[in-house]
Amino acid sequence: MTTTTMPSPALLTEPGLNTRLRWAVDDTITMTRRDLLRTARQPEMWTFAVTMGAFFLLLFYYVFGGAIGAGTGVDYIQFLVPGVLVITALNGAQQTGNSLAVDLSEGVVDRLRSLPMNQGAVLTGRTIADTLRNTLTLVVVAVLGYLLGFRFSNLGAAVGGILLAVGLGFSFSWISAAIAAKVRSVEMVGMLSMFWLFPLLFASSAFTPTAQMPGWLQAFADNQPISVVADAIRALGDGADASGLILGSILWIVGLTAFFGWLSARLYRKNA
Amino acid sequence: MSTNQSPPIIEVRDIRKAFGDTVAVDGLSFSVAPGQVLGLLGPNGAGKTTTIKMLTTLLPIDGGAASVAGFDVATRPRMVRQAIGLAGQAAAVDEKLTARENLDLFGRLYHLPADQRKKRTEELIERFDLTEFADRPAGTYSGGQRRRLDVVASLIVDPPALFLDEPTTGLDPRSRAEIWDAIRSLAAQGTAVVLTTQYLDEADQLSDDIVVIDRGRVVGEGTSAELKSSLERDVLEVTVAEAGSRDRAAELLNGDEVVAIDETTLHLPVNRPADSLAALRRIQDAGIEIADFQLRKPTLDDVFLALTGEPTA
């Protein structure tokens, strides 16, 4: 047997700050690639994921469309598509927790933690990969919405509206990651989402205008992130002044990402 | 394989770990030189995996100290991670990725430059005979192939220290032999290996030194030959015909050293072969039917039994 002793570059020298920053970026790209490659290898999963939003849209449009549209007197497709964009983004974000829980329970994470990689890259790689996939799903929804008669006021509004939904999905990916880092079981992650995501979704303007809700609930519903983003996208569709809602959306997205990013990194380190 | 005089790569002094009130590792010490394979042998729950997790920075060490490649595990975990390879009990390769992609992933996460990563990946595939399935997703592999990839993946940088936690548990004999070959060739090239196992023959085959642990403590250590010769006495193994008469037979063998191996089998160390005749006669005179018996030289199993008071799996 030939013994090949290879030089191990930078193996036993303490990396400086610059090197560590470069590694953090490289590792995040590596983990994002890995997660995207995994997704690409499961065509049944990603086709389902990518068409999920379109499925929501068709379901709402044809099943509830008549009733809700007639009852509220709004142009239903203009109301519906932003709502579906938001719901789709949140649905895609749930995948982050599921995949992370699988990695945590199968020993993959233990293995990764023994490597000299940036440990945060396991989480950021995951959320970025899920967000990229989510972006594709959201574009599919927007295109289908266009075919059904939905219009953004202009191209810039279209890009901005989709980006807000993507951003909301990204911030909710971190909530999902934090929950997975805490409970580490796919079943628990799924069950818990019934307790926090569903109420949050229904007590929002995603499905129906908040006007008929009782006052206390309406106050909450109008200001929570899902509604703010949905309303911002609606404003971008109608060509109304969206600046306040867009600012509110960005504050929510940045705030949620910062807090849950910090929390999930902490829980991941502590419990792994 | 030889144990040489180089300073140890892995040094462990009196490390401890408790989970709540349960003490998992209770003052373990050993050292491993370059090219040496140390076998950590013990029953389930002995503290083997906990020890590996502490030495690979996955679990904080409660007491004592350990260093790998000169870096303190508690204070320089980042440097330790650059110096180790780990293959845990769960084969943690990515099932959706091929062997080549898995090796490339690990190469990237060890921050190898692209050209070396490619070169090394091809080298490992060839050397460890992964060619036939190198481009299939790992999810399609047999248990042995997956384990082999798992062990090989930890070698992408030629780490000075390699930790293998029960690398052959659940594998068929052929796959075990393949992993053993891989471990031997690594050691021959200078890697310090710590290997945990429940299998005595594995420790016997691979390890230069064996540390037998039970309930988190060292209960015996030495080379396989030393451990065997520590039991100078022969072993009498008696199998009674009916399970119900085993305990009665154990009484008749009248020694504190009698150990029940299963429902009908007893082990007794004997000083002289003639002692076994007397022992057997006592059982026979009591009207207990003996299905089988043998007198033999001690094996590592017997050493294990004598040290831990329980038979291995």
For residue range B246-255, list pLDDT tens digits in order: 888 888 887 6
Q: What are phi and psi of A251, to 5 degrees?
A: -60, -45
- Would you say residue A9 has pLDDT above 70? no
- Are the CB atoms for A12 and B82 separated by under 8 Å? yes
Say which of B57, B120, B127 has its CB closest to residue A114.
B57
Q: What is the pLDDT of residue B235?
A: 83
B57 touches chain A (CB under 8 A): yes
Cross-chain residue pair B89–A107, CB shorter than 8 Å: yes
Could you read off the pLDDT of B115-160 as tens digits, one per residue?
Answer: 999 999 999 998 888 899 999 999 999 888 888 898 888 888 889 9
Average pLDDT over chain B, rounded to whole?
87
Say which of A3, A114, A272 has its CB closest to residue B81.
A114
Nearest CA in chain B to A104: B92
Tell me what the mean pLDDT of segment A250-265 comes to. Answer: 97
Q: How far is CA A137 from CA A29, A32, A141, A148, B198, in A?
A: 21, 17, 6, 17, 49
Cross-chain residue pair B158–A114, CB shorter than 8 Å: no
Size of interface A-B (CB pairs under 8 A): 97
CA distance B105 to chain A (A): 7
Q: What is the pLDDT of residue B92?
A: 78
Tell me what the mean pLDDT of segment A155-166 comes to. Answer: 97
**Which two structure tokens, joined as six digits, stand for B57?**
């920075």
ipTM of the complex: 0.84
Q: Which residues of A161-187 are buried (b: 16+ CB within 10 A; e: fewer)?
A: bbbbbbbbbbbbbbbbbbbbbbbbebe
Q: What residues of chain A lie within 8 A of the CB of B56, using their CB?
A: 114
A23 touches chain B (CB under 8 A): yes
Q: What residues of chain B lie within 8 A of the CB of A27, using their CB?
A: 108-109
pLDDT band, residue A94 (cuts 50/70/90)? very high
Tell me what the mean pLDDT of segment A214-241 comes to. Answer: 94
Q: What percent of chain B has pLDDT over 90?
A: 41
- Would you say residue B4 has pLDDT above 70? no
Q: What residues of chain B lie within 8 A of the CB of A43, using their CB?
A: none
B137 touches chain A (CB under 8 A): yes
Could you read off the pLDDT of B181-206 as tens digits, one per residue?
Answer: 888 988 998 999 999 988 878 888 88
Nearest CA in chain A to B73: A114
A115 touches chain B (CB under 8 A): yes
CA distance A50 to chain B (A): 19
> Which stretches within A73-224 are classed as H helix?
76-105, 108-113, 120-147, 155-183, 186-202, 215-223
Q: What residues of chain A lie within 8 A of the CB of B108, using their CB?
A: 26-27, 30
B78 touches chain A (CB under 8 A): yes
B90 touches chain A (CB under 8 A): yes
CA distance A136 to chain B (A): 21
A108 touches chain B (CB under 8 A): yes
Nearest CA in chain A to B81: A116
